[in-house]
């Protein structure tokens, strides 16, 4: 997350993420899954601004970025390509600020402007990143001086992968292994990756993907992938990328197999689904190569296509 404090407001860029590795280890007593995942932040950003107000109301102005909406409209059904924006009361950004206001007994309110570029229901973590960004931005706007540990504690009440966006900046790499429900974060410094993100028409319900998923008898480990990232090796990546949720996602959306077949025909290092889908990614050899691959994918009208790089997250105040 990148932040800027102006005279009367705090602005933030909230990055997308992808899961290079996602394995389910078991079912927890609280109903969640124990998991192991390798997440990296990438250079596709939502933008938000938080302006404190004297009145206690929280007002959220949430809309698709105008350029993003225009592109999706040109490609077809923008609702299918970008996903839905929830109403204010169920928007994770609104819920995050209300939780912060309640837990810290803040008498003031805030006006939040959110312009989204990260598609919904894609596995790219847009809602979680926005929630993390707004928690930090609102705490700064309200001069609460909260620690990252406290903000992460609040975030974990809202979503399992939100803490990643707080802690992955500690080494500046935006790369981390997450365990538990996803809230236990171990950062590492790995190589920069050039990628192409693809969001096909139609999303995948995270809850439904987890409900359908079968737990493995012997879970895979992310250790080889992390070693490759640390040593800047990528020749083994095709066999090291794992996503346990891909099978149920295939059952929900036929687009997953279509994207896999298309990417198999492209000259890319490796490819895989992110999170619970329907978002997909291809790892490329360079930024120029990623732009060429993106152009080929756009010509095939596979959906929304984004050439990106992994990006370091600003190390936030401890």
Which residues sit in the known binding site for ATP?
119-129
Looking at 9, 46, 116, 161, which residue is catalytic? Answer: 161
Is 17 a known active-site residue? Answer: yes
Q: What is the DSSP string of 198-250?
A: EE-SS---HHHHHHHPPPPSS---SHHHHHHHHHT--TTHHHH-EETTHHHHH
The set of long-range contacts for 80-88, using a CB threshold of 8 Å and a minimum separation of 24, is 80/201, 80/202, 81/119, 81/199, 81/200, 81/201, 81/303, 81/304, 82/116, 82/119, 82/120, 82/199, 82/304, 83/119, 83/120, 83/121, 83/122, 83/203, 84/120, 84/121, 85/116, 85/120, 88/60, 88/62
Residue 59 vs residues 51, 62, 111, 112, 267: alpha-carbon distances, Å: 10, 10, 5, 6, 47
Alpha helices in the chain (DSSP H): 66-75, 78-82, 92-103, 126-141, 148-156, 164-167, 206-212, 223-231, 237-240, 246-252, 255-264, 287-299
- How far apart are the C-alpha atoms of 235 and 130, rounded to whole Å? 34
Looking at 9, 17, 130, 194, which residue is catalytic? Answer: 17
Is 130 a known active-site residue? Answer: no
Annotated binding site: 119-129
- How far apart are the C-alpha atoms of 61 and 256, rounded to whole Å? 32
Which residues are identified as catalytic? 17, 161
């Amino acid at each position: 997350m990148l932040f800027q404090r102006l005279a009367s407001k705090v602005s933030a860029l909230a990055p997308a993420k992808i899961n290079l590795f996602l394995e389910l280890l078991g079912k927890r007593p609280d109903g969640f899954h124990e998991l192991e995942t390798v997440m990296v932040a990438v250079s596709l950003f939502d933008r938000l601004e938080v302006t404190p107000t004297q009145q206690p109301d929280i007002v959220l102005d949430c809309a698709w970025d105008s350029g993003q909406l225009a592109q999706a409209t040109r490609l077809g059904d923008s609702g299918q390509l970008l996903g839905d924006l929830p109403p204010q009361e169920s928007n994770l950004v609104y819920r995050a600020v209300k939780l912060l206001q309640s837990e810290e007994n803040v008498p003031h309110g805030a006006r939040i402007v959110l312009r989204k570029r990260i598609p919904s229901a894609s596995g790219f973590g847009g809602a979680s990143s926005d929630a993390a960004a707004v928690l930090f931005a609102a705490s700064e706007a309200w001069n609460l001086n909260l620690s990252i540990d406290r903000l992460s504690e609040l975030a974990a009440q809202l979503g399992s992968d939100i803490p990643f966006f707080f802690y992955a900046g500690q080494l500046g790499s935006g790369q981390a292994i997450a365990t538990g429900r996803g809230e236990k974060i171990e950062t590492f410094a790995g190589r920069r990756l050039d990628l192409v993100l693809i969001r096909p028409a139609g999303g995948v319900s995270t809850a439904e993907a987890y409900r359908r998923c079968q737990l493995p008898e012997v879970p895979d480990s992310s250790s080889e992938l992390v070693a490759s990232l640390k040593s800047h090796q990528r020749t083994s990546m095709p066999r090291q990328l794992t996503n346990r949720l891909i099978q149920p996602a295939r059952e929900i959306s036929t687009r997953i197999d279509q994207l896999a077949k298309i990417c198999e025909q492209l000259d890319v290092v490796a490819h895989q689904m992110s999170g619970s889908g329907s978002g997909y990614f291809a790892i490329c050899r360079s930024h120029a190569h990623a732009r060429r691959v993106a152009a080929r994918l756009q010509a095939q009208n596979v959906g929304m296509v984004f050439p990106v790089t992994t990006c370091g997250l600003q190390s936030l105040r401890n």
